[in-house]
Amino acid sequence: KKKVTARTLLEMKAAGEKITQMTAYDYTTAGIIDAAGIDSILVGDSASNVMAGNQDTTPITVDEMIYHARAVVRACRRCLVVCDMPFGSYQVSREDGIRNAIRIIKETGAGAVKMEGGTEIVDTVRGIIAAGIPVVGHLGLTPQSIHRLGGYGLRAKEEAEAQKLMDDALALDAAGVSAITLEKVPAALAAKVTTLVKAATIGIGAGNGTDGQVLVYADALGMTQGFKPKFLRHFANVHQCMTDGVQAYIRCVKESTFPSDAESY
């Protein structure tokens, strides 16, 4: 099948074909997800939580994102790889943001970058697109601002924040973003934004009215324990599957039934 690019997302929106996206942060996992037929892999800064065990996404660096994205790009034949720009890599200045976006594309081979925020970052977004790099926006719950937001609850419940989100989406759309991630906002608002913008909307905890869906693979495949917000569905139980495999290995080594003669040289 044909390689998915940022432009393909707009074609899929126009055709009414749902866009599927999942995160990945390493070569082996990305290879499985790409071969399974996903449209896009997001190298999310959620790597900070999922890979490194941090409490939030703020500590991860550009160098670390590049390490993860390079590994993912090496594994992907068909899907579009989107790499998150981490906290601090585009908030200081437009020049800084453009420089970091160029570095990420140059050193990883990803097909787009993703950035959190609306009107505050729209000049930077315009500069990155002008440099030839497709940009994905991210509105609603924006985890890089967790200390200001004060928690991971639903966003834009009230009219003022919903209006600000629509203004932000329109500003990003006018700047030419290819897609906008909508995280943890009411379904009706996400559906409305989807009709307002040319960009493809990709929801997480944003209902079924967006152009596509994204989930963190470790959550979607049931690897993480004790994290089951209402928006999340477990499409597999990899935690159980891995536990069974590890315990079978332990048992066989302890019983001295592994390795067998056939498995020895």
Helices (H) and strands (E) counted in the chain, each on its own, are: 11, 8
Query: What is the closest distance, in whole angstroms, from the C-beta atom of residue 23 to ligand KIV in the complex?
Result: 5
CB 47 within 8 A of CB 64: yes
| x/- map, 207-236, ligand KIV, by CB under 6 A | -------x-x--------------------
Closer to ligand KIV by CB, 39 or 45: give it: 45
The residues near 132 (Cβ < 8 Å, ≥ 6 apart) are none
Query: What is the closest distance, in whole angstroms, from the C-beta atom of residue 243 to ligand KIV in the complex?
Result: 24
Cis geometry, peptide bond prior to residue 143 (ω within 30 degrees of 0): no
The reply on whether position 186 binds ligand KIV by CB under 6 A is no
Tell me whether strands 179-183 and 200-204 are parallel, antiparallel or unpaired.
parallel
Pick the catalytic residue: 64, 183, 255, 263? Answer: 183
List, in sequence order, every beta strand (DSSP E) within the chain: 19-23, 40-43, 80-84, 112-116, 135-140, 179-183, 200-204, 212-215
**Calpha distance 111→177 (Å, rounded):** 13
The stretch near Na ion (CB under 5 A) out of 36-44, 71-79, 159-167, 239-247 is 36-44
The reply on whether position 89 binds ligand KIV by CB under 6 A is no
The reply on whether position 219 binds Na ion by CB under 5 A is no
The reply on whether position 118 binds Na ion by CB under 5 A is no
The stretch near ligand KIV (CB under 6 A) out of 25-33, 44-52, 62-70, 164-172 is 44-52
Q: What angle do CA 60, 72, 248 make, to 5 degrees?
A: 95
The reply on whether position 44 binds Na ion by CB under 5 A is yes
Closer to ligand KIV by CB, 228 or 251: give it: 228
183 is catalytic: yes
The reply on whether position 46 binds ligand KIV by CB under 6 A is yes
**DSSP 3-state assignment of 220?**
helix
**Calpha distance 141→209 (Å, rounded):** 17
The stretch near ligand KIV (CB under 6 A) out of 40-48, 91-99, 193-201, 223-231 is 40-48
**Calpha distance 55→46 (Å, rounded):** 10
Binding site for Na ion (CB under 5 A): 44-45, 84
Active site residues: 183
Q: Which residues bind ligand KIV (CB under 6 A)?
A: 23, 42, 44-46, 84, 181, 183, 204, 214, 216
